Amino acid sequence: MNLLQELEKSVEQLRSEQAAQAVEHERRAEVWRKEMAPAMHAVEDYLRQLMERLSQINERPRLSFSLQGYGDISAYIDRGYSLQSTPGAWQHEITLSYSAEIIPEECPVIAANTMAAVRVVAAALQQHRLGGMYNARRNENGEVVSARFRAHGKFSMTLSVLGEARTGQILFTFTNHEGFGQTQRTFTPQQINDELLDQLGRFIARDRLRFAIESLPLERLRALRERIESERARRGRAGMPLPGLAQSPRRLPPWLQDRTLFAPLRQLVQRIAHR
């Protein structure tokens, strides 16, 4: 193959790749117009209606989270909802923002009696911009060496919904909804229906504690519980470990693990054997 033929082959390959990219681009554009964009508009319309109705209700939803380093906290959700929609040519992002206010009288009082304990509890609260330190005692350097803590303040809660033509999926990102931190759910446009949106609304209104997680019927749960208890009893009688539970090996006491302790005894045995 001469140079001209090689160049012609490269040009044909490039044209083929460009044609394939154009077909894929058109396919994604069609999916966006017919499926993704309508699904995102449905989510936006539902969240807007939900926000308006929740803002008119006097009773504030409440929640309870476990905060590592402190303990369980209780809070009321404020009614100041904010909805932002940013549509684009090939993506659409929707953000629902609001906040929750700590109920101090329902939170535990933590006594931190060392400098290290004070730092742990204070850092756990400050990570979420919460306060609650009082009765602080300082040393001569001005450092807090002991204090009591009872959480108070507010923390933000957000729901971000991102639909992209590139992925063909809709990503729901929840911040501080199922606990402190982020959780995510991914859906196709076909999964965005009235039932899913109703689940979403009940989750935001705290009528449900989980969103888009399949729950087993009560009868199925009872059957599984009975089966587990029966298996536990059978294996317990036979002295067998339960599935998924590894028996930890028995460890020698630390003084028996010290090999230098038995070195003189080993040398004595060797001398007797050579006599």
213 within a domain of the structure (yes/no) = no
pLDDT of residue 251: 47
pLDDT of residue 194: 94
183 within a domain of the structure (yes/no) = yes
Query: Which pLDDT tens digit goes with each residue over 168-182?
Result: 899 999 999 988 999
Where helices occur in 32-108 by DSSP H, the ranges are 37-55
Domains in the chain, number: 1
171 within a domain of the structure (yes/no) = yes
pLDDT of residue 240: 46
**59-67 — which CB contacts under 8 Å span 24+ positions?**
61/205, 61/206, 62/103, 62/206, 63/100, 63/206, 65/176, 65/179, 65/180, 66/179, 67/124, 67/125, 67/128, 67/151, 67/180
249 within a domain of the structure (yes/no) = no
Domain, as residue range, for 156:
6-63+73-106+151-204
- What distance in Å separates the CA atoms of residue 85 and residue 88, rounded to the nearest whole number? 10
Query: Which pLDDT tens digit goes with each residue over 72-93?
Result: 999 999 888 999 999 988 889 9
Residue 42 token pair: 């449905």
DSSP 164-214: ETTTTEEEEEEESSSSSSEEEEEE-GGG-SHHHHHHHHHHHTTS-S-SS--
Do the Cβ atoms of 79 and 54 come closer than 8 Å?
yes
238 within a domain of the structure (yes/no) = no
pLDDT in tens, the chain (275 residues): 777 777 777 878 887 777 777 666 676 777 688 889 999 999 999 999 999 998 888 888 889 989 989 999 999 998 889 999 999 888 899 999 999 999 999 999 999 999 999 999 999 999 999 999 999 999 998 899 999 999 999 999 999 999 998 888 999 999 999 889 999 999 999 999 999 999 999 999 988 888 876 444 455 556 666 666 676 666 555 544 444 433 334 444 444 445 544 555 555 555 555 55
220 within a domain of the structure (yes/no) = no
236 within a domain of the structure (yes/no) = no
Helical (H) or strand (E) element with 116: helix 115-126
275 within a domain of the structure (yes/no) = no
pLDDT of residue 150: 94
- What lies within 8 Å, CB to CB, of 132 at 6+ separation is 104, 107, 125, 149, 150, 151, 152, 153
Do the Cβ atoms of 169 and 187 come closer than 8 Å?
yes
pLDDT of residue 47: 96
DSSP 260: G
Do the Cβ atoms of 191 and 211 come closer than 8 Å?
no
Beta strands in the chain (DSSP E): 62-67, 71-77, 82-87, 91-102, 110-112, 131-138, 144-152, 154-164, 169-175, 182-187
pLDDT of residue 231: 66
